[in-house]
Amino acid sequence: MLNLNQRDTGTFLFVIIITVLAPFVMNPFPTESAMAQFNAGYPDLMQRFVIFGIFAIGFNILFGLTGYLSFGHAAFLGVGSYAAVWMFKLLSYNIIPALVLSVIIAGIFSLFIGFLCLRRSGIYFSILTLAFAQMSFAIAYSVLSNPKFNLTNGETGLQVYADDIQLFKVENLTTPHLFGVKMNSTYELTLGAWDFQFNVGYYVSAVVMILMFYVSIRIFRSPFGLMLRAVKTNQTRLNYTGLNTRPYTLAAFVISGMYAGLAGGLLASMDPLAGAERMQWTASGEVVLMTILGGAGTLLGPVLGAGFIKYFENILSKINDNVLHAWFQYLPEWLENSLVWVLHWFTGKGWHLTLGLLFMIIVIFLPGGLMDGANRIREAIRGRKAKKNAKTPAE
Amino acid sequence: MDALLLQILNGLDKGSAYALIALGLTLIFGTLGVVNFAHGALFMIGAFCSVTLNKILNLSTVTLDATQKDFLGNPLKVKTPYVESWFGEAAGQSIIDWSVPLAIIFAIPVMLAIGVIMERGLIKHFYKRPHADQILVTFGLAIVLQEVVKAFFGANPIQTPAPDALDGVMDLGGAIGLQLSYPVWRITYFFFAMAVIGGVFAFLRFTTFGMVVRAGMADRETVGLLGINIDKKFTIMFGIAAAVAGLAGVMYTPINPPNYHWGMDFLVLSFVVVVVGGMGSLPGAVLAGFLLGILESFASTTWATTTIPGINQIIIYLVAIIILLVRPRGLMGRAGVMEE
């Protein structure tokens, strides 16, 4: 199907089914039950799953295939967001021109940065991209928000005001929409004890993500993708065969930058506000984390990683001491209190600690990420010798 | 002329901090070949050593004084720190007053221990893994350390005052007929940094231990073949690098109240410093630290910020990018070391 081999078709269909049925899949617990706080089926979170999925898929094209570890991809996400909000301010709230412009601007920006950074590799590349991203953050935060030339609106964040130009303004449409269908409109379906939410913004983002996932499969299986893998495996050897690798790595860099820009544009389409903190290097670190956690160089990994991290970010940070006490109320009091005391450090405000620990554990014990772990478990169940497949890269 | 000198002086204290952190980073990179993204966190932990000591010294017994009343009419609670009751009032107060310099003595063993534990417990297992893995695991460690500090000390900056004797402003220009008043503590910080840097260089230059370490940096394998346990020596060097970063943090607290995300803030800049100075070159790291510190202070002048708004925020990155593209090995890096 669609020029994919059987296995890729399976993966692709799996992603389509999961994303389409996400409002059901993410919402397994009845609304009134105690477990309801583990539900992720609300629009805001589901949108972030797919949008950061796009971001991570794009990052994976660079890092997973070529091995170039960029610490500055959040800059492209931020640029995409700013471009999208500017389109809202100048044209109208329709998201199509906003997305198009955010991809174009992010592409141009990443072409410029990639052209400079890709002259070095290894640690130098990481540090150069980091420096560029920090510089973009500083520029967006302070340089471009002076009263004379206010492009980013500094600390407040760029947003649409009532007196903005909006050339093709449509009355009654004061939030982002797709030809009149508002992004924030949600259809609620009540089935017994369950409430399911179907959000327009989520489905728009999901369709975009499915398309982008398809593009990434095609890139992975193309001669171009093979060339990128060759760069990762042995760049020196490629150079000795008389081949200039820079155009290939630059193309990969620009493609992943455009993915990031698209993700940024979608973020702005869901909530028309762009702030500089999206460009900070911790945000770049987050996408690295998602990709590694899911499994760099695999197709499905980055999407899984993005979902995993966004889920824990939301769910863990909601668990406070009262919730913990409610969980353990059946235990003896001393045990309840000590358990709550221990878990207190890892949940609620402390979820970053859990994230850091999780990250270390993954890098130390499971460098191939979740996908590698799943493969290992599958091998163990089948009882095959793991040795045979240990050397092949995870797919 | 006054303004010029003042800007150079202003750059020196930040430059000293950059130089010290970059020195530690380079030591670790030069000896173990590891890119340590947790180095900024070590600087931050050093700063919190000073906060901890200050808190310990301020532990007090509370007594009720019936002769004095507080504003509600209850007997006034009088706090007497333990050190005051042990050493007498005057001596106790001066101990508390000098808590930041005292924290140096407290921080050295703590930081050495943290460094050695980090190397033996975690980084040892990453020598053979790619640089990307080293970056990632130390990045994770940096998050963990930062969050642990946040859990214990909270998210707000904590004021840690300098000793009264070193807290004022000093007139530097009197002798040469210029108007130059400058905070005493910042000058102290500069001389302290110079002393630490000098100490590290002297240690590497004039001791047998330092000679072995330098030999190991040049050719680890041969030194190992000569029957020297170079791994052990490198572990100790990691501890020393951690202690250098920690000391930089301890002494920096009166300049800027420490905050849990200091580590991340300084880390990015110190990496830039290391790269500008030349990966693996110790004098390069120190030189680049001071240069970039001074450059940053010049970019913060009103003249510079009105000409190009926000130049002070981006100047360091701009310089780093230019240096990396024009002279990839950095200011003083050797040809061929990590150029790719």
Cβ-based contacts of B321 with chain A (< 8 Å): 116, 128, 131-132, 135
Give A-chain residues touching B314 at CB under 8 angstroms. Answer: 135, 138-139, 143
Tokens of B45: 């932990």
Helix runs in A271-368, H state only: 281-294, 301-318, 321-327, 333-344, 351-365
Query: Looking at residue A250, what is its pLDDT?
Result: 95
Q: Which residues are CB-neighbours of A106 under 8 A, at least 6 positions away?
A: A76, A77, A79, A80, A83, A257, A258, A260, A261, A262, A264
- CB distance B340–A121 less than 8 Å? yes
Are B317 and A282 an interchain contact pair (Cβ–Cβ within 8 Å)? no
* Predicted local distance difference test score (pLDDT) of residue A395: 47
- Alpha-carbon distance of A9 to A237, in angstroms, equals 33
Task: Kindly determine whether residue A363 and residue B133, on different chains, have CB atoms separated by under 8 Å.
Answer: yes
Binary contact (A116, B321; C-beta < 8 A) = yes
Give buried/exposed letters for A370-390 (b at 16+ CB in 10 A, else e): bbbebbbeebeeeeeeeeeee
Residues of chain B that touch chain A, judged by Cβ-Cβ distance less than 8 Å: 35, 122, 125, 129, 131-133, 135-137, 139-144, 146-148, 150-151, 264, 268, 271-272, 275, 279, 309-311, 313-314, 317-318, 320-321, 324-325, 328, 338, 340
What residue type is assigned to position B262 of the chain?
W
Nearest residue in B to A134, CA atom:
B317
Q: How many other CB atoms sit within 10 Å of the CB of residue B127?
A: 12
Partners of residue B119 on adjacent β-strands: none
Give CA–CA dist A83/A269, Å, rounded: 11
Using the Cα atoms of residue B58, residue B62, residue B63 and residue B64 in order, give the sign of their dihedral: positive
- Residues 6 or more apart whose CB falls under 8 angstroms from that of B212 comprise B223, B228, B230, B233
How many angstroms away from the CA of A336 is the closest CA of chain B?
A: 21
Contacts of residue B209, defined as CB under 8 A and 6 or more positions apart, other chains included, come to B203, B233, B236
Could B136 and A292 be called an inter-chain contact, meaning their C-beta atoms sit closer than 8 Å? yes
- Cα B299 to chain centroid distance, Å, stands at 23
pLDDT of the residue at A207: 93
A 10 A CB-CB count for B30 gives 22
Residue B185: partners with Cβ closer than 8 Å, 6 or more residues away: B162, B166, B167, B254, B255
| Cα–Cα–Cα angle for B314, B320, B324, rounded to 5 degrees | 150
Tokens 């050295």 belong to residue: B108
Instruction: Give tens-digit pLDDT for A243-256.
Output: 999 999 999 999 99
Return the closest-CA partner of residue B314 out of A140, A334, A391.
Answer: A140
Q: What is the complex's ipTM, to 2 decimals?
A: 0.80
Question: Coil, helix or strand for A273?
Answer: strand
What is the DSSP-derived secondary structure letter of residue B183? E
Contact A130 B310 (CB under 8 A): no
Helical ranges in chain A per DSSP H: 6-20, 22-25, 43-66, 74-90, 95-117, 122-138, 200-221, 223-233, 235-240, 246-270, 281-294, 301-318, 321-327, 333-344, 351-365, 369-382, 386-390
Q: Which residues pair with B62 in a beta bridge?
A: B79
Cβ separation of B135 and A69 shorter than 8 Å?
yes
Question: Among A19, A74, A73, which residue's Cα sits nearest to residue A209?
Answer: A19
Full set of structural domains in chain A with CATH: 6-279 (1.10.3470)
CB contact under 8 A, A363 and B136: yes
Residues of chain A with pLDDT under 70: 1, 384-395
**Yes or no, beta carbons of B131 and A127 under 8 Å apart:** no
Q: How many CB pairs under 8 A join A and B?
A: 113
The residue in chain B having the minimum alpha-carbon distance to the alpha carbon of residue A292 is B136
- Residue A39, min C-alpha distance to chain B (Å): 26
Q: Choose among A273, A205, A197, A213: nearest CA to A51.
A: A205
* Backbone φ, ψ for residue B66 (5° rounding): -70, -20
Ramachandran bin of A179, using left for φ above 0, alpha for ψ from -120 to 50, beta for the remaining angles: left
- Which of B129, B143, B313 is closest, CB to CB, to A352? B143
Angstrom distance (rounded) from CA B278 to CA B324: 9
pLDDT tens string A76-95: 999 999 999 999 888 888 88
The verdict on a CB contact (< 8 Å) between A350 and B147 is yes
Query: What averages of pLDDT result for each successive group of 10 residues across chain B (340 residues)?
Result: 78 87 87 85 91 85 75 74 78 80 88 92 85 85 88 83 76 67 84 92 91 86 88 90 91 86 81 83 88 87 76 82 80 63
- B2-59+98-326, what's its fold? ABC transporter involved in vitamin B12 uptake, BtuC (1.10.3470)
What one-character-per-residue DSSP string does B85-143 give?
HHH-HHHHHHHHHTHHHHHHHHHHHHHHHHHHHHHHHTGGGGTTS-HHHHHHHHHHHHH
